[in-house]
Amino acid sequence: MSLLYLREICRKMRSIKQTELEPLVRRANQIKTEVTQGGRKPCKDVIDVSWGDKHRGGVQPLTFVRQVLAACLYPQLAHSYKLPDDVRQRVQSLLGACDGGSVGSYTPTGGISYIQCSVSNFISRRDGGVPSSPENIFMTSGSQRSIMQVLKMLADFHNQASLPTGVLTAVPTYSSFKMMLQTLGATVVPYYLDEEQGWAMEVEELRRALQASKGICNTVALYVINPGNPTGHVQSRKCIEEVFRFAAEERLFLMADEVYQESVFGEGSEFVSYKKVLSEMGPPLSHTVELASFHSASKGFMGE
Residue range 22-44: mean pLDDT, rounded: 84
pLDDT, averaged across the chain = 89
Q: Can you give the pLDDT at residue 4? A: 47
Residue range 231-243: mean pLDDT, rounded: 96
Distance, CA of 63 to CA of 35 (rounded, Å)? 32
Residue range 231-256: mean pLDDT, rounded: 97
CA dist 195 to 174, 232, 233, 266, 282, Å? 16, 12, 10, 17, 32
Position with higher pLDDT, 175 vs 199: 199
Q: Can you give the pLDDT at residue 244? A: 98
Q: Is the pLDDT of residue 239 over 80?
A: yes
Q: Is the pLDDT of residue 2 over 50?
A: no
Q: Can you give the pLDDT at residue 9? A: 44
> pLDDT tens digits for 148-158?
999 999 988 87
Position with higher pLDDT, 163 vs 124: 124
> pLDDT tens digits for 277-287?
999 999 999 99
Q: Is the pLDDT of residue 69 over 60?
A: yes
Residue range 60-89: mean pLDDT, rounded: 94
> What proportion of the chain, given as a percentage, has pLDDT over 70?
91
Residue range 52-66: mean pLDDT, rounded: 86
Residue range 221-250: mean pLDDT, rounded: 96
Q: How confident is the model at residue 20 (pLDDT cuts 50, 70, 90)?
A: low
Q: Is the pLDDT of residue 163 over 70?
A: yes
Output the pTM of the full model. Answer: 0.85
Residue range 92-108: mean pLDDT, rounded: 95
The answer to whether 261 and 241 are in contact (CB under 8 A) is no
Q: Can you give the pLDDT at residue 52? A: 73
Position with higher pLDDT, 200 vs 178: 200
> What proportion of the chain, given as a percentage, has pLDDT over 90?
65
Cα 56 versus chain centre, distance: 19
Distance, CA of 252 to CA of 118 (rounded, Å)? 30
Distance, CA of 50 to CA of 148 (rounded, Å)? 21
Position with higher pLDDT, 145 vs 55: 145
Q: Is the pLDDT of residue 108 over 60?
A: yes
Architecture of domain 143-294: 3-Layer(aba) Sandwich (3.40)
Length of the chain: 304
Least confident of 11-25, 163-177, 227-241: 11-25
Q: Is the pLDDT of residue 11 over 70?
A: no
Delimit the domains of the chain by residue range.
63-104+111-135, 143-294
Q: How confident is the model at residue 15 (pLDDT cuts 50, 70, 90)?
A: very low
Sheet holding 165-171, edge to edge: 187-192, 165-171, 218-225, 253-257, 291-294
